[in-house]
Structure 1
Amino acid sequence: MPAPEKHRAPDTLTLEVVDLIGEVVARYYADYEEAAGEHALTGAQARLLHLLSVEPLPMRRLAVRLKCEPSNVTGIVDRLEARGLVERRPDPADRRVKLAAATDEGRRIARDLRQSLRFAREPLAGLAEEERGALRGLLRRMLEADGPS
């Protein structure tokens, strides 16, 4: 009887794709760390600021999204708040919950960070729009198959 799908050894092509994804992730994070450093931020601070530039979030949800402990998130938010990049505010849906939200300056820096990511931008610009669309679709399918983060 054949082994279940999940326990089958990956083929050579799959292993190569996994290695390439790993290299892309490593280069992306290195570029992100460099861009963050230009704004006197750590990579974790920059990632949190990016999340908050999209929408205000409660600390617990930030911890889940960043895959770290809530106490770590509190420290990161404290440091960003001291710089005027993040603020805490009551959740309109539940006043007992505090949301962290990017300030106007925080959103500006998050936008600058995203635009300065050379690795994320330059190789993609070399692909045709159709190729970028296909890559986006494949990456979305991979993420959907793995479930929400």
Structure 2
Amino acid sequence: MELLSLSLGAYYGDFTLAAASEHLTASQGKALTVLRRGPVAMRALAEIMACDASNVTGIIDRLEKRGLVRREPSASDRRVTNLVITPAGEQLTDAIRAKMHATHEGLSRLSDEEQAQLGTLLNRVFTPR
């Protein structure tokens, strides 16, 4: 548990610095990272980010103003607003990831096989059954 905690702390610090270099808060960067996986409803994003829905509204307002995300009505439920990352948001997410030098340096110490094994193990630990 201690090593996992230290690893996540180092990753979060690296991510926060990289996001700041692109004039984003860590929360804005995290929102983009989540949306990179696909459209997400506002309420679901709040749950994923473990924050109040009103906080997500402010985060998304700022990202939308920069053209990094857009809101779309859900095709199945007009009461639901989905959030979608734009191509500019995808490019910015790539730029943040590229600037995470400490994380890349640490992962480069692992072989390709070890990196794949780490991904498999983390998926087993963090994917609900």
- Range with greater deviation from structure 2 (59-68 or 126-135): 126-135
Matches of 1:107 and 1:138 in 2, distance apart? 27
TM, length-normalised to structure 1: 0.81
Share of identical aligned residues, percent? Answer: 38
SS of 2:79's equivalent?
strand
Query: Which consecutive residues of structure 2, in runs of 5 or more, have no partner in the other structure?
Result: none
Match of 1:80 among 43, 63, 84: 63
Q: Which has the higher contact order (CA 8 A, sep 6+)?
A: 2
Partner of 1:21: 4
TM, length-normalised to structure 2: 0.92
Matches of 1:50 and 1:109 in 2, distance apart? 10
Partner of 1:123: 106
Any idea what the Cα deviations from partners look like across 1:109-141, whole Å, max 9, x if unmatched?
A: 012112221222221112112222222222122
Matches of 1:131 and 1:87 in 2, distance apart? 37
Query: Which consecutive residues of structure 1, in runs of 5 or more, have no partner in the other structure?
Result: 1-17
Partner of 2:81: 98
Asked if residue 107 in structure 1 is aligned to residue 90 in structure 2, the reply is: yes
SS of 2:80's equivalent?
strand
Matches of 2:86 and 2:117 in 1, distance apart? 35
Count, aligned residues: 129
Over aligned residues, Cα RMSD in angstroms?
1.4
Partner of 1:50: 33
AA in 2 matched with 1:45:
Q
Match of 1:60 among 24, 35, 43: 43
Matches of 1:138 and 1:21 in 2, distance apart? 12
Matches of 2:30 and 2:19 in 1, distance apart? 9
